[in-house]
Structure 1
Amino acid sequence: MTRSTWRTRIGFILAAVGSAVGIGNIWRFPWLTAENGGAAFLTVYLLLVVGVGVPGLIGEFVIGRRSNRNPVGAFDELAGRWFRPLGAVALLASTVILSFYSVVGGWILRYTAASTTGAYFTAPQEYFAAIDYGLGAVGFHVLFLAMTVAIVYLGVERGIEVSTTVMVPGIVLLFGALAVWASTLPGAGGGYDFYLSLDVAYLRENLFSVLPAAAGQALFTLSVGAGTMLTYSSYLGEDRSLAADGTLIAVLNTAIGVLAGLVIFPLLFSLGVSPGQGGPGALFVSLAGAFAELPYSRLVGVVFFGVVLLAALSSAISILEVLVAYLVDEHGLSRERATLGTGGLFLVTGSIAALSPAVFALLADTLANVVLTAGLLGFLLFDGWVLGRLAREEYARGAGPIARLFELPWYYAIAVVLPVFLAFTLVTGVGGILGIGISTRGAAAVAVLGVGGAILALRRHGVPG
């Protein structure tokens, strides 16, 4: 079976940016920022994008392009069946994420339709509370999932590449215009203070609650750890610079995320809504109320939520593609059958999340952070201690002179520094879920011992690097 490829470099870049941007930046980022101290969260998040996200993204690219396979098949191809469980973690992460992601996509669909009548204008908070969960949410989740399945069904070139080439520029243009408009609103200054003025005391006191949330968001928004970028890079040619493409994708993605905050928080403060009250509905409450004050408010609402819908679709199709690629590569299914089969899986899991706020919160605010961190930790240890020199060789293929300067720093970062950090974040995050108080020293000790043990195990079974 001939494997799909990207037709153009810009098609790959925009597809990857679309996967990374999605509603992770437009919906999840403002919500988590509001719940974790505003600028304190933003500061930690930006540091983690640069220090963890970009090297991790390149590390995932290395595995994908080196193998030309899906997450499970990639590890089998490169080092044998013993490593297939590393890819299974990515499949689990993709399943967790799309199970709640399609519910949010359903919310966006509903708001797009409701904008035609202005149904949410007069009482935005009450409207969201009335439609967020229940049978209606299930119905719109199913509609959003059907749109996602249809695009993936068409394939890499005709479906994913064509759709994201249109979606991503539209997202950027509209959000730029909204950010300019939001700056003119009364009370917007309070939003900028919350979002951009760092409270060092807050960060010091809450670092170990902010850190797992910021790490999870950095990985979520760059689509690393779930096998999405591994799958997309498996369709790449050998002449691309993985470092250049990864850095560009991260910069564009982060810029759009920061831009989303420059829209959401001025709007929240101008409406008199406390950021921490927004929760998962922060995007909908803030913008829905703002649109009511605008000329042509219904048209603006349709256009805005229509573009957010494009962003949601661009991410959802990338997540679904991970599972589809696995079924096509490993089990010989046709793309059509694989797409419809995985669509059926998410029809069930997403419906459960749409009916239960507790299940939704467990998936979106807890499990997503844990599985993404665990996934990337496994990927980087594999790069550093199984592939070894082969990972450096793959990094260097197509790289320009500037990218080559960072080859050794990148390698040592993914082999030692980042695994210890990710393990520390994983320990503190799991400890928080279980309600176990873990000291900084205790978490660090567990992280170092865990990474050391993993390295010994990998070297025993691995390919000499």
Structure 2
Amino acid sequence: MARETWATRFGFILAAVGSAVGLGNIWRFPFITGQEGGSAFLLVYLLFIALIGFPAILVEFVIGRRTERNPVGALRDLGSGIWQYVGWLFVITGFVILAYYSVVAGWFLRYMLIGITDGYAAGAADPEAAELLFGSVSTGLDSLLFHAIFMAFVIAIVAAGIRSGIEVAVKVMVPAIIVLLLGLAAYGFTLDASTEAYAYYLSPDFGVIAENWTSILPAAAGQAFFTLSLGMGVMITYASYLGEDRNLAEDAGIIAGLDTLIAVIVGFVVFPFLFAAGLSPGDGGAGEIFVSLTAAFTEIPAGRVIGIVFFAMVGIAALSSAISILEVVTSYLVDEWNLKRVPAAAGLGVAIFLLGVPVTVDLIFLDLLDLFADGVLLVLGALLLAIFVGWVIPEVARDELEQGIGDLGGLGTAWIWAVRVPIVVVVFVSLYLGVLDYIGFLTEDFAGWLAEQ
């Protein structure tokens, strides 16, 4: 079976940006930023993207393009011993993330329809009403139904293939996301509370960083890997459809830059809305963007229309990311088992849907999966790839990076050493802190929930 390739470089970049620009940017980024101190978190996050995220994208790119395989096949072809099994970690990570990702994406679709049919005033007349509205959307039959609808869209696009499905879809979705986001940010600028919001978002308090670095560092690491689609095999898979003439460093820079820019713009949208409504960021956890913004849309001019546009935009962004995650696991069955793309995507999509069903029953399962995937699996995957490229196949990796670029001289060696030492050390510390956080969640929050059942 002939392996598909991207039709254009533009299509590849948009697909990679679309993968990166999703719920990680628009749902997760605002509430994590609020929980971790606003501008203090933003500064650490931006440093993490520049110093760790960009070199880490190149790690996945060189593995994918070198092997032209899915993560399992790529690590098996390049590695030996235990390394040939590392690719399975990315398949597992993709399963876990998409299972709850689809549920959350369904919430955005439901909120968009609420804006169209009823408006947001009834559900946001007071904080308690907004909480009740979110509870009715986030769990129960509504949540299950929209989880199924969203997964059906994801399956249909991935089943259509690389050129006819994913590349066509992202060429429409990613520009639409950017246009809508810029329009919302411009609107946020006109609100009276925008000055206060920008100060919270853009004026870092270094004392907060020094005091809370043990929570900010793993949060920034997990958010960086989540939003750049690293540690889950997406960039390995997408790079496997590339040709040798592509400049990987240039493409990685464009992808990381656009993704980070969009994440930053999201702050210029969400925080002015929250401050305009007199709401405090960071208090509502995973449901904050729903509870707080629903209330905010009742307080600002043209709030109903703005709300519909916002939730529609996030739904589009979520879809662009979800198709990349399903493609990772689908490519495994297509490459390794020679299955047809349609039954492979459909079968895996149904299995992922079933794994996400508990999240529609109780949000404790969202925390259970998200903290595990974000704080442990993603960071572990990135750490193992950094060790593999930096210490096991450094010459192979450098040779592959130079394809399409030319002789890098000392830059190639500098990249290898950046992967070998600072990236490995920082990611290891982040993983250690993330594991401690997850153990704390299991022994306190989850154990408490079990005791109440």
**2:406, 2:44 → 1: CA distance?**
30
**1:101, 1:325 → 2: CA distance?**
19
TM-aligned CA deviation for residue 416 of structure 1: 2.1
Give the one of 360, 364, 367 matched to 2:370: 364
Paired residues in the alignment total: 435
**2:62, 2:5 → 1: CA distance?**
16
Give the one of 432, 437, 446 matched to 1:432: 437
Residue 149 (structure 2) aligns with? 143
Matched, 1:168 2:168: no
**1:148, 1:120 → 2: CA distance?**
28
**1:16, 1:404 → 2: CA distance?**
28
Q: Deviations over 1:102-121 (max 9, x none)?
A: 01110011012112123423
**1:264, 1:249 → 2: CA distance?**
23
Matched, 1:118 2:124: no
Preserved CA contact (<8 Å) 1:223 1:229? yes
Preserved CA contact (<8 Å) 2:181 2:313? no
Aligned residue type for 1:85:
Y
Instruction: Classify 1:94/1:77 alpha carbon distance in 2 versus 1 (closer, same or farther; 3 Å).
Output: same
Aligned residue type for 1:421:
V
Matched, 1:344 2:369: no
TM-aligned CA deviation for residue 404 of structure 1: 5.9
- Within-5 A mapping of 1:385-424: 385-399=391-405, 406-424=411-429
Matched, 1:262 2:268: yes
Preserved CA contact (<8 Å) 1:90 1:226? yes
TM-aligned CA deviation for residue 297 of structure 1: 4.9
Residue 202 (structure 1) aligns with? 208
Aligned residue type for 1:429:
G
Structure 1 gaps, min length 5: 437-465
My pick for the range that moved more, 120-129 or 355-364, is 120-129
User: Counterpart of 1:123 in 2: which secondary structure?
Assistant: helix
- Within-5 A mapping of 1:208-287: 208-287=214-293
**2:410, 2:5 → 1: CA distance?**
29
**1:343, 1:390 → 2: CA distance?**
35
TM-aligned CA deviation for residue 79 of structure 1: 2.5
Give the structure-2-normalised TM-score.
Answer: 0.92
Aligned residue type for 2:353:
L
Residue 180 (structure 1) aligns with? 186
Q: Deviations over 1:412-432 (max 9, x none)?
A: 111222112111111121122
Matched, 1:381 2:418: no
User: Counterpart of 1:226 in 2: which secondary structure?
Assistant: coil
**1:271, 1:404 → 2: CA distance?**
54
**2:68, 2:81 → 1: CA distance?**
16
Q: Deviations over 1:248-283 (max 9, x none)?
A: 100000000000011101111111111122321232
**1:15, 1:136 → 2: CA distance?**
30
User: Counterpart of 2:4 in 1: which secondary structure?
Assistant: coil
Q: Deviations over 1:410-464 (max 9, x none)?
A: 111112221121111111211222249xxxxxxxxxxxxxxxxxxxxxxxxxxxx
Residue 453 (structure 1) aligns with? none
Aligned residue type for 1:174:
L
Residue 99 (structure 1) aligns with? 99
TM-aligned CA deviation for residue 187 of structure 1: 2.0
**1:190, 1:235 → 2: CA distance?**
46
**1:117, 1:130 → 2: CA distance?**
16
Matched, 1:155 2:161: yes
Residue 461 (structure 1) aligns with? none
**1:426, 1:268 → 2: CA distance?**
32
**2:81, 2:159 → 1: CA distance?**
29
Aligned residue type for 1:2:
A
Structure 2 gaps, min length 5: 125-129, 442-453
**1:198, 1:294 → 2: CA distance?**
27
**2:42, 2:303 → 1: CA distance?**
31
Preserved CA contact (<8 Å) 1:75 1:81? no
Aligned residue type for 2:418:
A
User: Counterpart of 1:235 in 2: which secondary structure?
Assistant: coil
Aligned residue type for 2:162:
V
**1:208, 1:93 → 2: CA distance?**
24
User: Counterpart of 1:381 in 2: which secondary structure?
Assistant: helix
Pairwise CA RMSD of aligned residues? 1.7
Residue 130 (structure 1) aligns with? 136
Q: Deviations over 1:15-52 (max 9, x none)?
A: 00000011110111001111111111111100000111
Post-superposition, which runs of at least 4 consecutive aligned residues in structure 1 deviate over 6 A? none
TM-aligned CA deviation for residue 81 of structure 1: 6.1
User: Counterpart of 2:21 in 1: which secondary structure?
Assistant: helix
Instruction: Classify 1:27/1:404 alpha carbon distance in 2 versus 1 (closer, same or farther; 3 Å).
Output: farther
**1:255, 1:2 → 2: CA distance?**
36
Aligned residue type for 1:264:
V
My pick for the range that moved more, 57-66 or 119-128, is 119-128
Aligned residue type for 2:439:
L
TM-aligned CA deviation for residue 406 of structure 1: 2.7
My pick for the range that moved more, 252-261 or 77-86, is 77-86
Residue 87 (structure 1) aligns with? 87
**1:433, 1:239 → 2: CA distance?**
42
**2:164, 2:149 → 1: CA distance?**
21
**1:30, 1:416 → 2: CA distance?**
31
Preserved CA contact (<8 Å) 1:149 1:340? yes
**1:418, 1:388 → 2: CA distance?**
14
Aligned residue type for 1:158:
S
Matched, 1:191 2:217: no
Residue 312 (structure 2) aligns with? 306
Residue 35 (structure 1) aligns with? 35
Residue 67 (structure 2) aligns with? 67
Preserved CA contact (<8 Å) 1:142 1:347? yes
TM-aligned CA deviation for residue 295 of structure 1: 6.1
**2:105, 2:322 → 1: CA distance?**
9
Give the structure-1-normalised TM-score.
Answer: 0.90
**1:429, 1:305 → 2: CA distance?**
30
TM-aligned CA deviation for residue 405 of structure 1: 5.6
Preserved CA contact (<8 Å) 2:14 2:174? yes
Identity of aligned residues (%): 47
